[in-house]
Amino acid sequence: MRLRLTYPHGYVQKPILAEAIIKLGVPLNILEATVNTKKGEIIVSVEGPEETVEKVVQFFHEKGVGVEKFTYILEIDEGKCISCGACVSPCPVAAISFKPDWTVRFDQEKCVGCGVCVQACPVRAIKLL
Amino acid sequence: MVSMSQERGRENLKRYEDINARVKRGDAVVLTAEEFIETVVKSGLEKAAKEVDVVTTGTFGAMCSSGAFINFGHAEPPIKMWHCWLNDVPSYRGLAAVDAYIGATAMSESRGFEYGGGHVIEDFVSGREVELRADSYGTDCYPRKYIETSVTLADLNQAVLLNPRNAYERYSAATNSTSRTLYTYMGVLLPEYGNITFSGSGQLSPLYKDKGFETIGLGTRIFLGGGIGYVIGEGTQHSPQNQFGTIMVKGDLKDMKPEYLRGATFSKYGTTLYVGVGIPIPIINEAVAASAALSDEDIYTNLLDYGIPSRDRPVLRKVSYKELRNGKVIVNEKSVPSSSLSSYKMAKQIAEQLKQWILEGTFLLTHPVELLPAYREVKPLNLRRAEPKVGDVMTREVITARLTDDIKDVATQLIQKGIDHLPIIDEGGKLAGIVTSWDLTGALAYGKKALAEVMTRKVITAREGEAIDIVVQKMAQHNISGVPVVDDENHVVGILTTDDISRKVVGRRFT
């Protein structure tokens, strides 16, 4: 499960994420972080059952950090895709694989939105929204 | 050679005429190569070879040496086309007045990498309108000087797909040892052996299923782009003795299907055409059967390092199509993800389609007029003219500094000698770093005093024997304007700057 954490202005300097990891004992993997003058935004992934995820969501809420569940939206035009596989091995998180019938399959849950597949696709069947 | 070609193609199990008679009667035994492999495992090669008439194959991959001959018909008043564009993609015009050849890798003058000749062919086959633009110098017989209109496939007198090199028997797999992402005709190659790409359908590969070239030759009827095509000879770079055989093919574009002819782009490389090819292999003798029965685990290729920008890329290891298709290949004790660039799903579909055509009795096999050569020397292009190397262009009187030198003295050196790059050497005279005028500006700005603090330690270098173009590419990649030239022991023997290159090389090429 991935979460988008939005830190309001003035919260960026507080070590809230570190506190969450220490206090809850839940490993949070930072996938992307952007900080500017207005706010901070961090995309983290949380591994574990739903209660764990809920605990993490609750914690950030209480600290005043915005939390929303987050998925990258890859749009694959199945009419265009030729299932060649050019996007499969470049994907850094193995979100793209082959089905037993050699059709290319995308796992939205694993995707980290890097966009390497968009460039790798010879028939331009992939769009990152 | 003559006796060799006579020996190939012996019909001691079945004759073409007998196979075709069974196809017409509807009782021929036709299997896809995948099915044939299973049959051989179950009932043995000898029995399978006797019982099976035809094995069908397929491949669907990027085939850059592809294109189409087109005849537009004459306009009123008529034109002798000189330059000609189809959807802004330039076509070859060294032919008669309204004949053209649109090549798969020709790129749009407005859309570049995103649209090319391959896409034009796909658009034609899809029935779409294609913009035609041409100019001319005007002649007494062809007075028109300019034409702009649109055409569809149905409007064309002839549209013949004619591909000089298709269906490589197998192809080398690719990976990348460097620290940057490479964009190649083998797709995106991630740094530090991040992934492996490969091409070809392995156990379904048309030419590998007759690796002795006993049945494929001039006149072999094939599945081409969803329609009927013919092998018209060996393909360019045909190297059958190394299992890198290729074929030249042609077929009527008007009978083809867009599903099997797809325009494609390899980012930062260029455009191409994915072509569907399927060849029926008549099981005329046991050697042909043995070849048709080869599976992915019997078919090997070399894994090459595309990080080396040379004709002779180092072979990292031999790898089977089975390992490649499994998606994990061990390189230097590390498991590296692998994936294909050609579509195995489509390759299966082509082999299946071709099987259906034969079973329906609508596709008969042809006896080749002449078999393809079973041996061909592959020659590199040797350069007959002297081409300057780094050693010919570099400045040999290189001014260097010592690590212990005062930063102010170094700055003085740069100013007095009018140079921008100063290699720093250690006590042993070996390269330790480099300082540029820009670094010294930084030192001034941040109040740094020691040379060691200012210099770049990870120096991009060149060798005397290196080609200028390779070093130019290296400089552009690292956004630098000069490289120290070093010997085997890392001693500085010269320096090569963009200034040297523009004065001594570019001037020579373009003036």
Average pLDDT on B31-51 reads: 98
Q: For chain B, say whether A114 makes contact (Cβ under 8 Å).
A: no
Q: Give which of B51, B42, B39 is closest to B13, Cα–Cα.
A: B51
| Alpha helices, H only, B126-272 | none
- The three-state secondary structure class of B413 is helix
For residue A11, is pLDDT > 90? no
B275, β-bridge pairs: B61, B261
Residue with tokens 């764990």, as numbered in its chain: A52
Question: So what's the pLDDT on residue B427?
Answer: 87
Residues written for chain A: 129
Q: Is B323 helix (H, G, I), strand (E, B) or coil?
A: helix
Cβ of residue A118 closer than 8 Å to a chain B Cβ: no
Closest in B262, B264, B339 to A89, CB measured: B339
Mean predicted lDDT score pLDDT of chain B: 94
Question: How far apart are alpha carbons B396 and B496 in whole angstroms?
Answer: 9
Span B291-341, pLDDT tens digits: 999 999 999 999 999 999 888 899 999 999 999 999 999 999 999 999 999
Which pTM value belongs to this model?
0.87
List the single best residue of B121, B339, B341, B348 to mutate versus A (max A Cβ within 10 A): B339
Q: At residue B511, does pLDDT exceed 80? A: no
What is the tally of helices (H) and strands (E) in chain B?
15, 33
Q: Is B84 a residue of the active site?
A: no
Query: In degrees rounded to 5, what are phi and psi of residue B371?
Result: -70, 160
Question: How many CB atoms sit inside 10 A of residue B328's CB?
Answer: 12
CB contact under 8 A, B344 and A123: no
How much is the CA Rg of chain B, to the nearest whole Å?
29
Nearest to A83 among B183, B337, B346 (CB): B346
**Segment B201-247, tens digit of pLDDT:** 999 999 999 999 999 999 999 999 999 999 999 999 999 999 999 99
ipTM over 0.90: no
pLDDT digits 0-9 by tens, B50-64: 999 999 999 999 999
Residues 268-287 of B with CB under 8 A from A: 272, 274
Backbone dihedral angles phi then psi of residue B429, each to the nearest 5 degrees: 80, 10
Do residue B187 and residue A102 have CB atoms under 8 angstroms apart?
no
Rounded CA gap, B207 and B57, in Å? 9
Structure tokens at B294: 């080869």
Q: Is pLDDT at B5 greater than 70 in this prediction?
A: no
Task: State whether residue A92 sits within 8 Å of chain B by CB.
Answer: yes
So what's the pLDDT on residue B36? 98
pLDDT band at B446 (very low <50, low <70, confident <90, very high): confident
Contact list in B for residue A86 (CB cut-off 8 A) is 187-188, 197, 339-341
Can you tell me which residue has the tokens 């939390």?
A: A67
Residue B442 — very low, low, confident or very high, per pLDDT cuts 50/70/90? confident
CB contact under 8 Å between A116 and B188, yes or no, is yes
CA distance A26 to A60: 13
* Beta strands at A104-106 and A96-98: parallel, antiparallel or unpaired: antiparallel
| Tens digit of each residue's pLDDT (9 = 90 or more) over A31-75 | 888 888 778 899 898 888 888 999 999 999 999 999 988 877 788
Tell whether B331 lies on the interface with A, counting CB pairs under 8 A. no
> What is the distance in angstroms between the Cα of A77 and the nearest Cα belonging to chain B?
14
Query: How large a percentage of chain B has pLDDT more than 90?
Result: 84
Classify residue A75 by burial, with Cβ atoms within 10 Å: 0-12, 13-18, 19+.
Answer: exposed
Interface contact A120-B267, CB threshold 8 A: yes
* Catalytic option among B1, B2, B141, B154: B141
Instruction: For residue A99, give the chain B residue with the closest CA.
Output: B345
The rounded percent of chain B whose pLDDT value lies above 70 is: 98
Q: Provide the pLDDT for residue B508.
A: 63
From chain A residues 68-87, the ones with a CB under 8 A of any chain B CB are 82-87
Contact B327 A88 (CB under 8 A): yes
A89–B contact, CB cutoff 8 A: yes
B2 pLDDT band (50/70/90 cuts)? very low
